[in-house]
Amino acid sequence: MNNRPSLTELSAFSAVVKHSSFRAAADELGLSASTLSHMMRALEERLGVRLLNRTTRSVAATEAGTRFFRNVGPILGELDVALADVGSFRERPSGRVRVNALETAVHLLMREIIPTFGELYPEIELDIVTEGRFVDIVAEGFDAGVRLAESVPHDMVAIPFGGDVQFVAVAAPAYLERHGTPRDLEDLNQHRCIRFRMPSGKIYRWEFEHRGQSIKLDVPGTVTLDHMGLMIKAAIAGLGIAYVTIHLAREAIDAGQLKPVLEQWSPPFGGYHLYYPSHRLVPRALRAFIDVVKEVDRSRTRRR
C-alpha cells in the first residue's frame, strides 16, 4: 500500500498550517472549507498520525504536524523553484515573486523600484508581505526578504539598495515653540517623546551616535505606537518628538510640518538589502526583480 501523500495534499496541508484556518486556506486554494477538512482527515488516516488539532474556531498543527510542516515546506519551495526554472524557457518571465519586508523598506521600494518593475514585467505578480518580525523566508515560502544590513542572515545573497539609512528626531514647529528645542540628548528627558513598540513587544531605545560615542536612551513619553507612519502623524499633530527614518519624514520636513532636531547625533548607517537563499536556483521572475533593484540603484547613484 502506497502511503505517500500527493502534492495536492501536501500543498493543502501547508496552507492550513500557515493560515491556522481551513477557511483562509480554502480561499487560497480555491476549495471549499469542508473539502479541505476531509482532505486533511484522509491525509492523517493515510499517515496514521494526527497532524492537526481542530476546534470550532481554529486549527493548529500538533507536534507531529509542526515537524512535518517544517520538513515539507522547503521541499515545496524547491519544487516551486524548479517549476519556475523550467518556465524560464518561455520568452517572457512570468509568475509571482513573494517578498517579506519591513514596512519602512517598502516605502522606499515604492518610490521607483516597484513602478519600474511593473512597467517592465507586467506579467509578474509582486506579492509583498510587510511585518516587523524576522522570518525564515525559506520555511515560510518567500522568494526573498528585505531587511537592514545588520539583520540579513550570513548564508544569504544580499543586494543593497537605496543608500544608507538615517534616523532623525523630528517635531512639529508649534510643539517646539511651546516646549523649546532640545539642544542635547539630556534635554529629551524634559520632553514628550513618541515611543516605538517593536514586534517583540519591547519599547525601542533611541540609538544616537556622535564622534564615535554611541548612546541608547529609554526616552519618556505618553504615546507609544508600533507604526512609524503613525508616529510621523502624531508628531505633526504636536504630540511630541518622534524618532523615525528620514526618508519617511522627508515629505513632512519639506512641507514645514516637521523640523529635525539633534541632527548631529543622527549619522547614517548601513541601509536596506534585498536578500535570497544562496543555495537555491533563482527563478527567472525573481532574477528580473533583482535586476531592476540593481539598475534603479545604479541610476540613483549616477544622479547623485
Same domain, 96 and 180: no
- What per-residue confidence (pLDDT) applies to 104? 83
**Final residue in a domain of this structure, among 73, 100, 127:** 73
Q: Name the grid cell of 40.
A: 486533511
User: What mean pLDDT, rounded, does the chain reach?
Assistant: 88
CATH number for position 57: 1.10.10.10
**C-beta neighbour count of 101 within 10 angstroms:** 21
3-state secondary structure 230-274: HHHHHHHCCCCEEEEEHHHHHHHHHCCCCEEECHHHCCCECCEEE
Collapsing DSSP to helix, strand or coil, 179 comes out as: helix
Binned at pLDDT 50, 70 and 90, residue 100 comes out as very high
Tally the C-alpha atoms within 13 A of residue 251's C-alpha that lie toward its C-beta: 7
Q: Is there a single domain that holds both residue 290 and residue 212?
A: no
234 lies in a domain?
yes
pLDDT, tens digit, 9 for 90 and up, residues 246-292: 888 999 999 999 999 999 998 787 789 999 988 777 888 999 999 99
- In this structure, are 31 and 55 located in the same domain? yes
In a domain, 278, yes or no: yes
CA atoms of 126 and 111, how far apart (whole Å) = 15
Give percent of the chain with pLDDT exceeding 70.
96
**142: containing domain:** 88-162+272-303
* Length reported for the chain: 304
Q: Which residues lie below 8 Å from residue 112, measured CB to CB, with a gap of 6+?
A: 296, 300
Which three cell numbers, joined as nine digits, stand for 34? 469542508
Please indicate, yes or no, if residue 2 is contained in any of the structural domains.
no
Better-predicted residue by pLDDT, 54 or 78: 54
Residue 12, all three cell numbers: 493543502
pLDDT of residue 19: 87
* 8 A C-beta contact, residue 123 and residue 233: no
DSSP H helical ranges for the chain: 7-19, 22-29, 33-47, 63-87, 103-109, 113-120, 173-179, 228-236, 246-254, 284-303
Q: Encode pLDDT of 16-51 as tens digits.
A: 998 888 888 888 888 888 889 999 999 998 888 999
What tens digit of pLDDT does each residue of 157-207 get?
Answer: 999 998 888 899 999 999 999 999 999 999 999 999 999 998 778 899 998
Residue 89 has pLDDT above 80, yes or no: no
Cβ-Cβ contacts under 8 Å for 267 (sequence gap 6 or more): 166, 209, 210
Question: pLDDT of 64-79, one tens digit each?
Answer: 999 999 988 888 877 7
The proportion of the chain whose per-residue pLDDT surpasses 90, expressed as a percent, equals 45
For residue 164 the three cell numbers come to: 544608507
Mean pLDDT of 1-30: 85
Q: Are residues 154 and 236 in the same domain?
A: no
Task: Please tell me the distance from the alpha carbon of residue 268 to that of residue 3, in angstroms, as a whole number.
Answer: 57
Q: What are phi and psi of 282, to 5 degrees?
A: -95, 115
Residue 78 lies in a domain: no
Are 105 and 66 within one domain?
no
The confidence score (pLDDT) of residue 91 equals 61
Identify whether residues 14 and 147 lie together within a single domain: no
Check residue 134 and give its pLDDT: 79
Q: Which three cell numbers stand for residue 49?
A: 498520525
Final residue of a structural domain among 47, 73, 99: 73
Which is higher by pLDDT, 172 or 83?
172
Residues 261, 276 within the same domain: no
* Higher-pLDDT residue of 90, 109: 109
Does 82 fall in a domain? no
Q: Which of 66-75, 86-95, 125-134, 245-254 has the lowest mean pLDDT?
A: 86-95
Residues 225 and 200 both lie in one domain:
yes
260 and 194, same structural domain? yes
One domain for residues 178 and 246: yes
pLDDT score at 88? 58
Query: Does residue 27 sit within a domain?
Result: yes
Residues 191, 253 within the same domain: yes
SS3 132: coil
* Rounded distance between C-alpha atoms, residue 181 and residue 173, angstroms: 9
Of 123, 139, 136, the C-alpha closest to 84 is 123
In whole angstroms, what separates CA 107 from the centre of its chain? 11
Q: Grade residue 56 by pLDDT with cuts at 50, 70 and 90.
A: confident
Does residue 219 lie in a domain region? yes
Contacts for 98 with CB less than 8 Å, ≥ 6 apart:
127, 128, 129, 141, 142, 143, 144
Last residue of a domain, one of 73, 99, 123: 73
Domains contained in the chain, number: 3
Residue 258 lies in a domain: yes
| Separation between Cα atoms, residue 131 and residue 118, nearest integer Å | 22
pLDDT at 260: 96
For residue 244, the cross-strand partners are 168
User: Are the CB atoms for 275 and 153 separated by under 8 Å?
Assistant: yes
CATH code, domain with 137: 3.40.190.10
Say if residue 1's pLDDT is above 70.
no
Do 284 and 249 have their domain in common? no
